[in-house]
Amino acid sequence: MTGGLLLSIAINIDPILLQLGPFAVRWYGLMYVVGILAGLFVALPYARQRGLDEEKVWSLFWPAAIAALVGARLYYVVQSDFGAYLAQPWRIFAFWEGGMAFYGAVVGAAAALAVGCQRQKISFWTLVDAAALFAVVGQGFGRIGNIVNGDIVGYPTDLPWGVVYLHPRSFVADHTVAYQPAAFYELLFNICFFAILWSLRFRFRRPGMLFATYLIIYSIGQFAIFFLRDNEVLFWGLKNAQLTALVVLAVAAPLWWWLRGRGESEMAPAEGAPTT
């Protein structure tokens, strides 16, 4: 190894946690399960505090979760090497390989919740506020799966916190090169992001404002972090996720302002919550 690699962080973890014949339990999938459970642990009490019926929330959860996973994977496939996936269509739903575009998850889940909330006669905007807390927690655990996989990396670097993926089953292109630890950056961002949303969860008096805040902060974070991620540049020196982030910001900022000015559906403050 070069001098730069000697100063790097070596990761030598098999992305497959357990292999039983053709069946494999992967860290990536396990972290998604843990993330879902942790997200529910945070979001369900908030939903109850905001007056949502837990039974109805559960009835909407699984359709929304499935729509989110499908949306995230499909959007990733479309914005990646789409021709390669067409050549091997079975890989489109090979979730264990990694590769989930979170904006696709947001669109899929929001669409499923919009339909479900109309049928169940519950507040869509209140529910997506709870979903924002669920999402930011789930994303954090998902990043741990990305770190193990090596499927989110930055450009090659000689910085002392660069990461070298030694295990042959990790997803990096070169196992002898140190990369910017983009997945670590994403994880740190998610921790700070959760702290912000948690502190704001009772500050907004209009349903939907926490969700719109989530979209705004997430998009700003993605726009910044993707300058360090080794992804294909499309237009104006920007990458696909950055262009998507700009579109989402252009929608989310007016949405936040519109929700703020709504004269109806003001939420009663939850018991013990600070009032403003």
pLDDT at 98: 56
Residue 24 gets the label, from left (phi > 0), alpha (psi -120 to 50) or beta, of beta
pLDDT at 256: 94
Question: In Å, how far from its chain's centre is CA 63?
Answer: 18
- CA neighbor of 228 nearest in space, from 158, 181, 170: 181
CB 210 within 8 A of CB 232: no
- What torsion, rounded to 10 degrees, do the Cα atoms 71, 75, 81, 84 define? 30
- What torsion, rounded to 10 degrees, do the Cα atoms 222, 225, 231, 236 define? 80
**Coil vs helix vs strand at 8:** coil
40: amino acid identity, one letter: L
- CA neighbor of 49 nearest in space, from 199, 264, 269: 269
**Coil vs helix vs strand at 186:** helix
C-alpha dist (Å) from residue 33 to 76, 84, 92, 121, 228: 20, 28, 20, 29, 28
pLDDT at 94: 65
pLDDT at 26: 87
- Looking at the chain, list the stretches that DSSP marks H as alpha helix, in order from N- to C-terminal side: 3-6, 27-49, 54-79, 82-87, 102-120, 124-149, 182-200, 209-225, 240-260
pLDDT at 272: 46
CB 131 within 8 A of CB 61: no
Nearest-5° Cα angle at 218, 14 to 158: 50
Q: What is the pLDDT along the chain (276 residues), one digit of tens a residue?
A: 444 455 578 999 998 888 887 788 888 889 989 999 999 999 999 999 999 998 999 999 989 988 988 888 787 777 766 666 666 666 666 655 556 677 888 888 999 999 999 888 889 999 999 999 999 999 999 899 899 998 889 999 988 889 999 999 898 888 988 999 999 999 999 999 999 999 999 998 899 999 999 999 999 999 999 999 887 777 888 888 899 899 999 999 999 999 988 755 555 445 445 443
Give the whole-angstrom CA distance, residue 213 versus residue 227.
22
Domain boundaries, the chain: 3-260
C-alpha dist (Å) from residue 218 to 9, 51, 131, 214: 27, 26, 14, 6
pLDDT at 263: 56
- CA neighbor of 251 nearest in space, from 76, 122, 103, 68: 103
